[in-house]
Amino acid sequence: MATVRFDPNDPRRQLGSPAPARPKSRDTKDTLCRNIAIYGHCRYADTGCTFNHDRNKTSSSDGAPKKTFNADTPAFTPASQQPPQQPAKKSTFSSQAVTAAPFTPRTASQKNGAEPTKFNPAAIKEFTPQNYDLANTVRLAKPSSPTHRRLLTTGQSAGNAVAQPPSGFHNDPFTSMNSLAQPLSSSHIGQALPNTAQYNPYVGNAPALAATPTMAGPGAVYYPTHTGYAVGLVQPPLYHLYTPHDAHRQDLQPWQRATYDFFMPDQLREELQKKMFATQQVLPSSTLPAPEHWHSLFPLDTSNRKNASAFGYASWMYKAMNSRNGRHYALRRLEGFRLTNEKAILDASREWKKIKNANVVTLHEVFTTREFGDSSLMFAYDYYPLSKTLHELHFQQSFHRNTGNQFQRHGAVAESTLWGYICQITNALKTIHAANLAARCLELTKIIVTDKGRLRLAACCILDVVHFETNNRPVSELQEEDLVKFGKVILCLANGTPSVHLVNSQMAAESLSPRYSKDLKDAVGWLVSPPPPGEDKNIDGFIRRIGAQMTHMFDMALLDNDEKVWHLARELENGRIARILMKMATVTERGEACNQPNWSETGDRYTVKLFRDYVFHQVDADGKPRLSMGHMLMCLNKLDAGIDEQFCLTSRDNETTFVVTYREMRQMLERSFNELVKQSKHGAAGSA
Ligand SMILES: Nc1ncnc2c1ncn2[C@@H]1O[C@H](COP(=O)(O)OP(=O)(O)OP(=O)(O)O)[C@@H](O)[C@H]1O
């Protein structure tokens, strides 16, 4: 084997060599031009392209000897070519097959017999739940880092102030500590699903998918409906196939890295992917209207029950895309609302749009529409994928998928969680009251949980618009009422009682004492009681009472933030690698470019291709693939840094070896990519 020192300026260096050895007798005029195979025509047919441009004239048809398969074998083109005549094959069926029932494909039987089931948009249930269970994810997930563990066990770290609710309150099989130790798998995701025949984005079995013919993943809108298929089946990403846990930390030296050191934690990645998937979901053949500049409406309600208790009008939630900026929003529709005074919308929404608080869902727009067949009032809020109301999270019926048992989950919540909720609602009310507004709609069904333990008030402004003309109560009174409603929400969660069953708040507050700390009982008691004589009851007074818990919550939030920034910093590295990979993929195997038929196989590009082989296509001594992600990441990082370390590249025919440095390799890649940039019309945005 000859070894040559690679010198890009060597005049003797023949551009394009060494290419894979080709048979001397090779005659390109017999080989079907790739452009014909791929595009149907070749622009260079009349200007020097030496390949065959006649589909009917191939080397096999004119009796030329058959070539062995090599890199120049023309692309496979199934469309227009007749299959060659095969000699009749001996049947391999056993004698038993004679008595077997004839196979009838489903679509065929539909044609011959009964009418095929036609897709009927009228039969679509308008309301389709999104039922990813945040609570279960939290319980099933393994704490991934000490900081994370600390976040999960806030109750314990709060010391004496913490008291767990009695065990009898939790008859939910998911809440056993064993489940905490189990890794998250697809079956767990399945278990976390409630029993609903409607929408279920993470369902794992085909029949259940087929039962949701109207739901679709992000791409479904691009595919026409087809009666042969269940339309737009949901195909969630295969989160569980990615298992980066390949080594134990203890087995590694301090300077060594495992694959998962380079990527964000599994649980975080999976949650983000699920949220993206939910955000992009569409309803193909939807009958929902597209009011004004809103389109792709997708129902978020989990039941089709009309409920007017919160606002006096039945309300429905949709995810929708704003065609002005391409972003997703949550639209709340009040059915049958007739606007009599336009000032109601203008005055109320002006103030609410200014409220920016981490625990309030921001309002963006209020408008009326007749697109739903009635006069509806619409509120556009920020959209938080896969969020659940406090009521859904802590009270709704769930379904155990493996055992088939229905069970009621009781709403008794751990004290640490309750303090988290209290601090966040306090934070929201502080901003709202400071702006001389009142939240008014403080209910379990109107507070959403958008992440683990993360609350947001989701229906602000609505009652201000609806009661604009009839409300003559001063804001201070409404703000005081906010505090009472706040106390009732916490009482419902602490006692496991839905709000309709909470009759006497003060008695309920008293009953907290054996199960929860005195601090909690006092705080909630203060909220639901009338103001003490001579004292104003306002949110500032409440903040003074719970100062210790607020600082603890603040500390937790900072720790959480530190962890997220750390993960973000790791992803920065991956961004660099992704960019260099894209450049390599753009250059290699490109075939014709820059007016050269074999551009990607010659010059710098050929060396880039060998480098690609060196990084990704290595084999061990037995010829088996060597799939060391560490090797790949190391090579790409060195290439990106352009260091002076030397390494060997061997041609595929093992005839030639180059000794190159990563710096030279990087220059070659840059040169090749820049050639393409020059040729392209618009350049490559963001490729630097
Ligand atoms: N801003 C938002 N972003 C994403 N989802 C939201 C948002 N606001 C509400 N949701 C979701 O929409 C669904 C329906 O909300 P809604 O407030 O109508 O609750 P509900 O339980 O149906 O109450 P009601 O019985 O009063 O209609 C809930 O699952 C909730 O999590």
Residues with CB under 6 A from ligand 1: 300-302, 307, 310, 315, 317, 330, 361, 381-384, 387-389, 391-392, 445-446, 448, 458
pLDDT of 497 strictly over 50: yes
When mean pLDDT is compared across 127-131, 448-452, 571-575, 644-648, the lowest value belongs to 127-131
Gap between the Cα atoms of 52 and 462, Å rounded:
71
* Residue 100, pLDDT score: 46
Q: Atom 20, ligand 1: which residue's CA is nearest?
A: 445
Q: Atom 19, ligand 1: which residue's CA is nearest?
A: 445
Residue 384, marked binder: yes
The DSSP bridge pattern shows strands 2-5 and 656-661 to be parallel
* Domain-wise residue ranges, the chain: 1-62, 135-207, 277-545, 571-682
Provide mean pLDDT across the span 622-633.
87
Residue 445, marked binder: yes
Gap between the Cα atoms of 48 and 46, Å rounded:
6
Residue to mutate (ligand 1; options 300, 307, 454, 492; most atoms within 8 A of CB) = 300
Q: Atom 25, ligand 1: which residue's CA is nearest?
A: 307
Residue 242, marked binder: no
Provide mean pLDDT across the span 40-53.
76
- The answer to whether 657 and 649 are in contact (CB under 8 A) is yes
pLDDT of 60 strictly over 70: no
> How many residues are given for the chain?
688
Provide mean pLDDT across the span 89-94.
42
∠ CA 268-270-272, rounded to 5°? 70
Residue to mutate (ligand 1; options 196, 199, 298, 301; most atoms within 8 A of CB) = 301
Q: Ligand 1 centroid vs 222 CA: distance in angstroms? A: 28
CATH assignment of 571-682, among 1.10.287.3700, 1.10.1060.10, 2.60.40.10, 3.40.50.740? 1.10.287.3700
Nearest to 33 by CA among 51, 49, 50: 51
* Residue 398, pLDDT score: 52
Q: How confident is the model at residue 43 (pLDDT cuts 50, 70, 90)?
A: confident
- The answer to whether 446 and 458 are in contact (CB under 8 A) is yes
One-letter identity of residue 628: S
Q: State pLDDT tens for residues 408-439.
A: 555 578 999 999 999 999 999 999 999 999 99
One-letter identity of residue 457: L
One-letter identity of residue 667: Q
Residue 389, marked binder: yes
- Residue 127 has phi, psi (to 5 degrees) of -110, 125
When mean pLDDT is compared across 140-149, 472-481, 489-498, 673-682, the lowest value belongs to 140-149
pLDDT of 616 strictly over 70: yes
Q: Atom 22, ligand 1: which residue's CA is nearest?
A: 301
What's this model's pTM, rounded to 2 decimal places? 0.60
Q: State pLDDT tens for residues 322-343.
A: 999 999 999 999 999 988 888 8
Q: State pLDDT tens for residues 267-324.
A: 888 888 899 999 999 888 888 999 989 999 999 998 888 888 889 999 999 999 999 9
* Residue 406, pLDDT score: 52
DSSP 649: E
Distances from the Cα of 567 to the Cα of 219, 453, 560, 580, angstroms? 29, 20, 11, 21
Nearest to 500 by CA among 309, 647, 326, 652: 309
Q: How confident is the model at residue 252 (pLDDT cuts 50, 70, 90)?
A: confident
Q: State pLDDT tens for residues 194-207.
A: 333 333 333 333 33
Provide mean pLDDT across the span 581-598.
88
Residue 46, marked binder: no
CATH assignment of 277-545, among 2.40.10.10, 1.10.510.10, 3.40.190.80, 3.30.70.1050? 1.10.510.10
Q: Ligand 1: which atom is nearest the Cα of residue 383?
A: 3
Give the neighbor-by-neighbor strand order of the sheet with 447-451.
388-389, 447-451, 454-457
Q: Ligand 1: which atom is nearest the Cα of residue 314?
A: 27
